[in-house]
Amino acid sequence: MRQPTSYRSATNKRRSSVTATALLLMVGLLASVASQAAKPYKAPRGLDGKHPDLNGIWQAMNEANWDVERHMAKPSLQVREGPLGPVPAIKTMYMGAVAAVPPGAGVIVDGGKIPYTPEALEKKQANAANWLERDPEVKCYLPGIPRANYMPQPFQILQGTSSVFFAYQYAGAVRDIYMNNKEPAPIDSWMGQSDGHWEGDTLVVEVTGQNDQTWLDRAGNHHTDALKVTERFTPMGPNHLSYEATIEDANVFTKPWKIAMPLYRRMEPDARLMEFRCVEFVEELMYGEWRRKPLER
């Protein structure tokens, strides 16, 4: 039976009113979400009550330790020419897929390529062709900065009222951040000297005094002892930091360049740094031939 016109009109009005109300609620919700997203994250304060609390165990989740530049997958960390293209080098061939290089989007800002001088680029290519003999990671040398921050192992930031300390799981590497220090590094070392200060909620660390023995990744990217790295650690949420590092070395780069990535908090209930004393693991590689009765090599 057909409803009277007045009834249909009232029903349509109610429907229109409900629809309008729903739309207004949705618009209000979206506006609220957009407003919250537009507000910069305000991290909890540390023990000094002024600066953000960076305490925690952090780890990068990317392929930068294989190669900071954008790269495709490769059959091995060290390759030779094969009949149809590159194949694993003899020394890495028996590692199979374990030694393969995963693809990576890269972490370099603005361009994605390292601005090498021609001579420095040649050395980088030679490093890659002789990765197993040259990469300091293979022999468990300390990783240097910035590489220590994106190796596939966690590190811990310990922040007090006026001090900041970094402890790395890899090789037990550490560095003390000298806050507001004005003295230059007295000597060159594997991890260099880290001088820090705060710029708002960002911890800025200038690293100098590194020796020329560390690499930036497993792809042979290198530097000299003129390297200067300016790091910026900024809380972007309760469980991740924004990490940026500006890299300068006039001996090998034509201009300063920057890398950037998020660092993620390890969230396991029992998250902690474990022991990775790799010096002991490479004793046979480095000194085994000097045994009284050497093992087969």
How far is it, in rounded angstroms, from Cα 257 to Cα 106? 13
Q: What is the pTM of this model?
A: 0.86
Q: Which amino acid is at 105?
A: A
The pLDDT value recorded for residue 110 is 86
Q: What is the pLDDT of residues 153-172, one digit of tens each?
A: 999 999 999 999 999 999 99
The pLDDT, as a whole number, for residue 33 is 53
Question: What's the longest Cα–Cα distance across the chain?
Answer: 108
All residues at 6 or more sequence positions from 223 whose CB lies less than 8 Å from its CB, including other chains: 210, 212, 214, 216, 247, 249, 251, 252
In CATH, the architecture of 56-70+105-287 is Beta Barrel (2.40)
Helix (H, G, I), strand (E, B) or coil at 60: strand
With a cut of 70, which residues of the chain have pLDDT below it? 1-25, 27-38
CB neighbour list of residue 63: distance below 8 Å, 6 or more residues apart: 71, 102, 103, 104, 105
Residues 6 or more apart in contact with residue 142 via CB below 8 angstroms = 136, 148, 171, 173, 190, 191, 214
pLDDT for 297 equals 84
User: Which pLDDT belongs to residue 11?
Assistant: 56
Can you tell me the distance from the alpha carbon of 14 to that of 12, in angstroms, rounded to the nearest whole number? 5
pLDDT at 24: 65
Domains of the chain: which residue ranges? 56-70+105-287
Tokens 């550490």 belong to: 174
